[in-house]
Amino acid sequence: MAIFNTQNTWAFAFGLLGNLISFAVFLSPVPTFYRIWKKKTTEDFQSLPYVVALFSAMLWLYYATQKKDVFLLVTINSFGCFIETIYIAIFLAFATKKARMLTVKLLLLMNFGGFCLILLLCQFLAKGSTRAKIIGGICVGFSVCVFAAPLSIIRTVIKTKSVEYMPFSLSLTLTISAVVWLLYGLALRDIYVAFPNVIGFALGALQMILYVVFKYCKTPSDLVEKELEAAKLPEVSSDMLKVGALASPGPAEIAVVPTTASKCICNDGIKAETENGNGVKNGTHSTSAY
């Protein structure tokens, strides 16, 4: 078997492009972990997104080993396992005792116990194409489950009518990544690769639509800060935005506001009044320079 399947030109092209995009996405949390290393503390960051991202990469890597001519799927998920392991190691080095113990429990439960159980059952109870189908189904099921995170962020945007905490560039990048891997799956005629990225594309497109709809609306900053302080929400890594999609589990972190509905000030013009005949305008213009 050749390392690269150059006979399927489209699959090779989309796979190579997907590797390049996903490689950049995997590296996007580097500033976060440089900050953790420099300050010697994890602050309010959580390890769950990186543990889940590692588990996702492990599952897809195992699936790729059961298929032919998917070397580009192996390369990106191998790199994903490597870089996510480094992130988790840095987190463990500087986390509090409570956070460290929680991370270790998650690793033992999910990445060791869960993955070993899947590995043993598939290796001994299934063979050939049946094994690949079972593993592919597990990968798809896990991917669909973790899409709960972007749904919660979308709900937050709708309720607050603010896109301040949903960067358009991130949504665009992840949508493009989903499209590329979707096309890669279609070129290979692999439903297990294609299907999760259909969902990823749909959610990414929805996020961009919401951005266009609410980009001229801004929740008053004092109310946002008050809500954040009251809820005491930690920064949530946007790994969870796309961790379920193929080879895209590593964007930089974003903060998420609580889902309490807030009053929105929209760009519906400038209100002016004349006081004492002096022509002094007292108005507000709420266009957000986001």
Cα distances from 203 to residues 52, 103, 153, in angstroms, run: 19, 28, 11
Write the pLDDT tens digit of every residue in 262-273.
Answer: 445 454 443 444
Q: Which of 179, 177, 170, 164 is nearest to 225 (CA)?
A: 164
Q: What is the pLDDT of residue 167?
A: 78
Length of the chain: 290
Q: Is the pLDDT of residue 205 over 60?
A: yes
Output the DSSP codes for 14-63.
HHHHHHHHHHHHHHTTHHHHHHHHHHTS-TT--SHHHHHHHHHHHHHHHH
Per-residue pLDDT, 223: 53
Per-residue b/e over 85-101, b at no fewer than 16 CB within 10 Å?
eebbebbeebbeeebbe
- C-alpha to C-alpha distance for 143 and 154, rounded to whole angstroms: 18
Segment 188-197, tens digit of pLDDT = 999 999 999 9
Q: What is the pLDDT of residues 95-140, one digit of tens each?
A: 999 999 999 999 999 999 999 999 999 999 998 889 999 999 999 9
pTM of the model: 0.76
Mean of per-residue pLDDT scores for the chain: 78
Could you tell me the pLDDT band of residue 154, with boundaries at 50, 70 and 90?
Answer: confident
